[in-house]
Structure 1
Amino acid sequence: MTRKPFLALAGLAVAGLAAACAPRVEAPRDEGVCWYVVPAEDGAEDAPPRFNLVARDQPQIEFCAARLEEMRLRFLRLGGSNREIIGAYQGQFIFIDRRGVQFGKDLNGPRFFALTRTGDGRLAIPGAIQRDIDGRPTAIAAPPADAPSAPPAN
């Protein structure tokens, strides 16, 4: 083995050990409490994130995600620019971005896709949006039976 690949492997091993030894941030486990997570500033990588209280007595993680989405939209209406936010609920992290809502046990670990955005920006369960093969939504209500029919095309 030549010296350059060996040094590259050694550098990767050291980086992996440093990442493994870094303190893991845990989400608060307070029952029914929804938190907004403020990441550490750019200059302070070893500083832990701050947890700000958003709401109490939230029965499920989806309700907490709704409160965080509400907060995100209010900040945007006030002129804010942060389109992605992180929250926490009973030991899990909530990630909200333009695609929807994801849950994860760790800030940097794998995430579970929970809610997706509809065409008008609302959040919905991914399986609730039925689409045709061409991508058009199929869950559109039909006109009432007693409604007049459309005039014939000429």
Structure 2
Amino acid sequence: MRNRLLAALAILVLPAALGGCEKKLDAPTDPQVCWSMAVTKDGKVKFNKVAEHVPDLEHCAAQLEAMRIKFLSLGGTQTEITGEYQGSFLFLQREGVFTAQSYEGARYPFMVRTGDGRLAVPGAMPQQ
């Protein structure tokens, strides 16, 4: 009985302990700089500067959305973009923009898409 309990405990604890060994993705923390994240063909992560003097996370999301739309108009096919602003990650997806304190961390809704596809802060649009 004790061996089964130890085996079950090892199954639950071991993955969490090993997960702590994974290298955390370090993002740039330059003040007021908005970054786009890309993965190169060899699997390395690269951050590309999108804009400087960006006052906040919301404006960075707008810069990334403008970049996404421009690339799509030029024939690009990437509809989801990952960006970064002062240590916070932004994930632009079909549903809206999500944010997280780390790439691997929990993602929280930050902006939602309106009926016509624009981005808005949740609660900013009047209810019908």
The TM-score normalised by the length of structure 2 is: 0.85
Aligned residues: 128
Partners of 2:112 and 2:18 in 1: CA distance? 35
Kindly provide the amino acid, as one letter, of the partner of residue 80 in structure 1: G
SS of structure 2 residue aligned to 1:126 = coil
Structure 1 pair 101–64 and aligned structure 2 pair: CA distance change class (3 A): same
Q: How far off its partner does 1:105 sit?
A: 0.5
Partners of 1:23 and 1:37 in 2: CA distance? 17
Q: How far off its partner does 1:13 sit?
A: 3.2
Aligned to 1:142: none
Cα displacement string for residues 83-118 of structure 1 (whole angstroms, at most 9, x for unaligned residues) = 111100111111110111122111121223121100
Aligned to 2:118: 122
Kindly provide the amino acid, as one letter, of the partner of residue 33 in structure 2: V
Aligned to 1:111: 107
Matched, 1:91 2:122: no
The TM-score normalised by the length of structure 1 is: 0.72
Matched, 1:15 2:11: no
SS of structure 1 residue aligned to 2:27 = coil
Matched, 1:32 2:28: no
Kindly provide the amino acid, as one letter, of the partner of residue 131 in structure 1: Q
Matches within 5 A, 1:44-123: 44=43, 47=44, 49-123=45-119
Kindly provide the amino acid, as one letter, of the partner of residue 90 in structure 1: Q
| Greater radius of gyration (CA) | 1
Partners of 2:27 and 2:85 in 1: CA distance? 7
Aligned-residue sequence identity (percent) comes to: 42
Partners of 1:103 and 1:94 in 2: CA distance? 5
Partners of 2:119 and 2:83 in 1: CA distance? 16
Q: How far off its partner does 1:39 sit?
A: 3.4
Q: How far off its partner does 1:20 sit?
A: 1.1
Q: Which runs of 4 or more aligned residues in structure 1 lie more than 4 Å from their structure 2 counterparts after TM superposition?
A: 1-9
Q: How far off its partner does 1:129 sit?
A: 1.6
Kindly provide the amino acid, as one letter, of the partner of residue 126 in structure 2: Q
Larger strand percent: 2
